[in-house]
Structure 1
Amino acid sequence: MSVPSTVPSAPDWQLRVRTFDGDTAGAGVLVSPRHVLTCAHVVCAALGRPWEEAGTPRPAEPVALDAPRGGGAWQAAATVLDDGWFVDRSPWDAAVLLLDRPAPAAPPTLRSRGGADRPGRAVSMVGFSADEAPAGVWSHGVLIGRGGRHHEHVQFDIRSSTSARITGGFSGSGVREDPGGALVGIVCDAHQDDRGLGVSGWMIPVETVPNVWGGDVSAPPSQPLRDSPRTVHALALALAETPTVADPEARREFYRLLAPRIRRSLRVDLAPGLFASRLVGVARDHGLLHEAVAALDLLEEGSPPMRRVWEAAGPLLDRE
């Protein structure tokens, strides 16, 4: 009998933050063997304090954490670092904690460059929102773009009707990129529909959190994704299927947005498929693939074909 995916065979890097009464206040994620990133409002909930974004002083009392996704009895206390309380400055509603004992697992790979600026990237989250599922319940979504109360935060939408909706137990949970599982950010807020279901939310990107833990990150290095001809072809095909590239007039407008170094080696009057293929090659030669895809997104405005472009571009952008 196979083991369900929500019950790992080894301790996980996502921990649970508890209240004095043993209830769930939220989650936190390891960024080093002794440091945890979570939301400031989760810390306040654990301590039974009201949370006001700009007016809440850094608490000195420790909070309790455990590791239900490890299936063991690990428990610890953690205090907020002197410079790890972000309620009146970027990235807002974030806190970095110091554990009083080593963590039960290795930290994840931290996607600290460019992971949050790619609309269409598939992500997963596991939240402690159901008492009958102590190891957490999964939700799957896609990154949409920056927004919310602070420009640094990034919206994600839940795209599956079978995924868990974003509720209080998800605050501080790790947003994991698919595939690979690297940490992109932590859940900080949710937007509810008229039925009270959290169908979208916002995350604090890891790349916006100052490294106040002093660079003590023991995450394994990110494994480069294979840069195969099939990957390049998939991106070219996705580009060719966007309305902007398919339509000659719209393609000319897109062409004018491209960097001069790309335009000098690219003819705008090529057939859509050939134009897209040539664009991928030239943009990669100059290290400007992300810039070119972002220029196209300005015209596509997050269309479904554009989200497929971002997904196809992900493996190549990770190599830039």
Structure 2
Amino acid sequence: MAAGGGGPAVSPMATPSWAVRIRGADGEIAGAGILLTPQWVLTCAHVVDRTADVMTAEFVGAVGHGVPAVPARLERDAYVPETLDADGDPSGDVALLRLERPRPAEETVRLHRLSAPNREVRMYGFPYEHNGGIWFRATAVGVCGRDGQVQLIPASPGELASPGCSGAGVADSDTGEVIGMVLSGQEDRHGNRFSFMSPVETIVRHLPRLDPVTTGPSAVDPQLRSTADDILPELLDRPFAQRLAAWLRDDGSQVKISVVRHGDAAREATLRRAITLADRELRTPVSVDRASLDPPGTVPSAGGHDLAVYAEGRTSAGIAERIAERLGLPHPEEAPLERIRAARAILNLVVVGVDEAVDPLGVLDLLDVLRADGSRLLLVLRTAGDCHRRAREQLLTGPERGRRARLVERLKEITGPLAEDLRERLAAVAPQGLRPLDSDLVAAHAALADLLRAADAADHDGEGQGEALPGPGPDLARYERLADRVEGRLTAGVAALDRLRDRRDELAGRLRSYQVMHQHSLRGEEDPAVDGLYLRAHTLLRARPCDVRAAEAAVDAYTRRVDGHAGATGPVARDGHGARDSHEDGYGSGDGRGAPDGDSGEDGRGARDAYGARDVHGARDGHGRGDDGRGARPDRGTGDGHGAGVGGGDGQRAGDGHGARDGYGAQEGYGPRDGYGGGDAS
């Protein structure tokens, strides 16, 4: 439930009362806005026409059937235009409009501080095609730029924030709270679509007057904020500041553990400085500029952490509640740890004074739950005692050993069974268009050897402060990327070779079927030229590894020659199963069924040369309806056979047997030249 008019900020079934459609002096839609107080509308600076004296704010979610329109003017001291720094990173782009007539307080909404990573969000804007307003869905995926803007990935290609959406409120789908404002939508040259929002903390930093209409606790506990004395040059521990800034910029390490003892003024001030500069709301504008006087590499990214907690004197349950609140996890009747565990939320968390909490081991268990789900953790302890050793084992060295062991097993699988699968395929078929994979396998073997050497290596403490040295240990993240790359290439290679092997088998079957057909068409003759083509194709298919492309060309040459030979000697059934004039001239062809001379035409059911008999079913002119009827010449009991028709001119024992000259076993059929049973009998 969002603060404001007493109801939900966002009802899935209603237009939000705080959604404002803004028109310029020309009457065209300029963008959107958020009604924060009865007289203030928050929007983007680029939506505002500074040359116009008055703009119009329209309240599409107001109660009733009409859309109230209220003149609005720019608050001159609440206008922060977008600026670009030396690297092209944008900053600002926020403004306030003051309404000439106030709106009801119940229509307003408050901004809410909330950790945004991987949250499902919705925004209500006014694109030209839907100028009455429409919801857009997206996922907040991460921070970008020095101003702490958050990148949004649209839920579908059609939900990219388009013109008319700038200034729209971004509402968290789970809580309904308004956690930011849409800045723009873009499509890059690769076709990727994404939008940007300014989170509430960044908005409040640019417009501090909005703090009274903003809810949710700050991301940084008061004890961890920089003081006026922290800016003294002698209080900056530059190496420590650079390591902190690297972690806050996501240097690839998930967990960092440091020791900052009480009384170490430089390290304490450096820690507070890093935490403050990494917060979107607390960092100063001068630190955002690339040309700031801060030493190189000591300024972290805005939004480098989502929460910084001071643990001294607090219980693990209290810290868990602080985290759950920052993550926007409701249901206070449930234990906060259970809410965090169920949500599987991910955040960048800084905890200072872990060993001075009421129950340090409980805090470590809480942090282990977050680590297992993918959160990044920066732990600061006051001494390098038992709690420090437990923290390193539970959160750093223990998980790293497990991660290394899993990576070792994965590389063994890649260099063992998967590599053997590849070798087996390469022995069967020659690769075509497949990049050599030898160097990938060599790299995988080298990584495996390095990991095995490091398996028993001891962890080292750095500077006596409890920080892990970079040291000679293997870079697990780099080796994991290597494993991903090699496994992907080997799997794709095996799949490509399998397709070639399947094609080889298909060609072999095709070659065999054509050979059978060709042998039946020869009538005892030989054709050395065709036999040579067959032998070449057969040899290429039998070769190991098989050059499938060359084999395919050889099979094509052979089959074309066989097809040409068949065309020169007459129509031969493709499967060699029937006679020259069998099915192809059978049912319904020639003078068959339905022809002028009876049920089966002039020459019976299957035309002149169908199913093995010139005069089928015993009648020259049809199915017993010819000149002589069913018993017409030669009749079923006449002449020399058991009945005319089916077996040939003179019946089943006629001169050409069960498969007459043109029947199933005729000259081109399976059996001898004159039928299934040879010359004279069935």
Normalized against structure 1, the TM-score is what?
A: 0.61
The answer on 1:137 being equivalent to 2:134 is yes
Higher helix share: 2
Alignment of 1:86-125 (within 5 A): 86-87=80-81, 92-104=92-104, 105-111=106-112, 113=113, 115=114, 118-125=116-123
Q: 3-state SS of the aligned residue for 2:48?
A: helix
1:195–1:5 Cα change, 3 Å: farther
Find the aligned partners of 1:237 and 1:156 in 2 and give their Cα distance. Answer: 17
2:186 maps to which residue?
A: 191
Superposed CA offset, 1:125-176 (max 9, x none): 1111144x4441211112222225x523221111x22762210111110111
Find the aligned partners of 1:147 and 1:237 in 2 and give their Cα distance. Answer: 20
Higher strand share: 1
Q: Which has the bigger relative contact order, CA under 8 A and spacing at least 6?
A: 1
Q: What is the deviation of 1:124?
A: 0.9
Find the aligned partners of 1:73 and 1:30 in 2 and give their Cα distance. Answer: 15
Q: 3-state SS of the aligned residue for 1:69?
A: coil
Count of residues paired in the alignment? 243
Alignment of 1:267-282 (within 5 A): 268-269=393-394
1:42 to 21, 42, 47: 47
1:193–1:65 Cα change, 3 Å: same
Find the aligned partners of 2:31 and 2:82 in 1 and give their Cα distance. Answer: 21
Q: What is the deviation of 1:19?
A: 2.6
Contact 2:111–2:177 (8 Å) recurs in 1:
yes
Find the aligned partners of 1:13 and 1:88 in 2 and give their Cα distance. Answer: 24
Question: Once structures 1 and 2 are overlaid, which stretch shifts more, 85-94 or 31-40?
Answer: 85-94
The answer on 1:126 being equivalent to 2:139 is no
Q: Give unpaired runs (5+ residues) of structure 2.
A: 1-10, 84-89, 218-324, 347-366, 400-475, 478-682
- Percent of aligned pairs with the same residue? 31
Find the aligned partners of 1:142 and 1:181 in 2 and give their Cα distance. Answer: 14
Contact 1:91–1:204 (8 Å) recurs in 2:
no
1:63 maps to which residue?
A: 55
2:340 to 232, 247, 269: 232
1:6–1:169 Cα change, 3 Å: farther
Find the aligned partners of 2:380 and 2:55 in 1 and give their Cα distance. Answer: 51
Contact 1:42–1:171 (8 Å) recurs in 2:
yes
Contact 1:109–1:220 (8 Å) recurs in 2:
no
Find the aligned partners of 2:119 and 2:131 in 1 and give their Cα distance. Answer: 28
1:164 maps to which residue?
A: 159
1:62–1:195 Cα change, 3 Å: farther
Give the counterpart letter for 1:258 in structure 2: L
Give the counterpart letter for 1:12 in structure 2: S
Give the counterpart letter for 1:108 in structure 2: V
1:232–1:38 Cα change, 3 Å: closer
Q: Give unpaired runs (5+ residues) of structure 1.
A: 45-57, 273-298, 301-320
Give the counterpart letter for 1:118 in structure 2: A
Normalized against structure 2, the TM-score is what?
A: 0.31
The answer on 1:260 being equivalent to 2:381 is yes
Find the aligned partners of 1:102 and 1:141 in 2 and give their Cα distance. Answer: 32
1:72–1:143 Cα change, 3 Å: same
Question: Once structures 1 and 2 are overlaid, which stretch shifts more, 259-268 or 183-192?
Answer: 259-268
Q: 3-state SS of the aligned residue for 1:32?
A: coil
1:13 maps to which residue?
A: 18
1:20–1:93 Cα change, 3 Å: same
Q: What is the deviation of 1:30?
A: 1.6
Q: CA RMSD in A?
A: 4.1
Larger Rg: 2
Find the aligned partners of 2:210 and 2:116 in 1 and give their Cα distance. Answer: 27
Contact 1:109–1:219 (8 Å) recurs in 2:
yes
Find the aligned partners of 1:162 and 1:92 in 2 and give their Cα distance. Answer: 27
Q: 3-state SS of the aligned residue for 1:168?
A: coil
